Amino acid sequence: MRILIASKIDPDTTEELRLTHDVIEHINASEEELCEAIAGCDVLIFRSGVQINRAVLNHASHLKLMIRAGSGLDNLDLPFATKLGINLVRIPEPGAQAVAELTFGLMLNLAREIRMVDNELRCGNWAKQQTTGYTLHKKTLGIVGAGNIGSRVGEMATAWGMKVVGCVQNADQADLEHLNRCGIRLSDLKEVVSSADFLTIHVPKTKSTLNLIDREVISWMKPGSFLTNLARGGVLDEKALYEALQSDGGPIGAALDVHEHEGGGAISPLAELPNVILTPHIGATTVDTMREIGNRIIETIDSSPYDCFEEPPKLASPTTI
């Protein structure tokens, strides 16, 4: 099979795939490059940072299988892919643990001002008396999006002795039972935001969540609270957050792993603020996560039915995704 790898994955996985398949790599390529590269490919492997839009898919005349090495689908024209009958496999579970762990890393950094005191000490300043620290124990964690990642964050928070309240769209009975086991009490968005000492965002980017955490929602936050965003850029109004962090009576710190504008050369206006931590969308990027996803990629390709890679008529009945 001819496999196009459009995002960085575990290098050992790439080498193993090369043993039995024709593998080409175009990492985070432009639309024009992807349109050219995807022609004749049977399988596409991608993560965030690359746009798999209608123009690209229109050039994918042989594509039978797409593997999203993670969870989010905001960079894929899913309705058009469905119309073309292209199979889609997501691998969200390994990344969920890594994102959940980074959430705690960022909350601890905010609560204990680790970045600030580290910078001061590197300059020879012993800032022990200038720092104000907070514990997570017995605090309330509010989770906007208590899904695959958010529920894992809540489960970890319960183990830390935090009280956890969350909200999620379209929860069925199985979801409710799972969240209850994780120690997460469900409520509406306003209570989640207004009750939280630490507010964390883990919703997918969709039409309904675009700019979900806007100026009004940020105004509900408790004085002295902290916010982390590990969802997607565009879910949070960064301008409104900037203003809130400089005003009295609202949040006093924030950490963002995802941003409205991502990639080299993009500088967030939040970078001016000392009470903000910014990371470059590294939530799921750990050695262990990439290895586990790589193993799942190989299993997915090896277990795919042979006729998945025969020449199907395009615009056949859509495959359920």
User: What's the sign of the alpha-carbon dihedral 99, 217, 225, 162?
Assistant: negative
38-77 tens-digit pLDDT: 999 999 999 988 999 999 999 999 999 999 999 889 999 9
- In this predicted structure, what is the pLDDT of residue 264? 84
- In this predicted structure, what is the pLDDT of residue 164? 98
Would you give the distance in Å from CA 284 to the centre of its chain?
7
258-304 tens-digit pLDDT: 999 998 888 998 999 999 999 999 999 999 999 999 999 999 999 87
Q: Helices 11-20 and 287-303, interaxial angle, to 10°?
A: 20
Q: For residue 281, indicate whether it is catalytic.
A: yes
191-224 tens-digit pLDDT: 999 999 999 999 999 999 999 999 999 999 999 9
pTM score: 0.88
- In this predicted structure, what is the pLDDT of residue 49? 86
Q: For residue 26, indicate whether it is catalytic.
A: no
Of the residues 47, 68, 202, 281, only one is catalytic, namely 281
Of the residues 232, 238, 260, 292, only one is catalytic, namely 232
% of the chain surpassing 70 pLDDT = 95
Q: Residue 4's pLDDT band (boundaries 50, 70, 90)?
A: very high
Domains located in the chain, CATH noted: 2-93+287-309 (3.40.50.720), 135-278 (3.40.50.720)
The CA-CA-CA angle for residues 87, 93, 95, to 5°, reads: 105
As a whole number of angstroms, the distance between CA 19 and CA 5 comes to 15
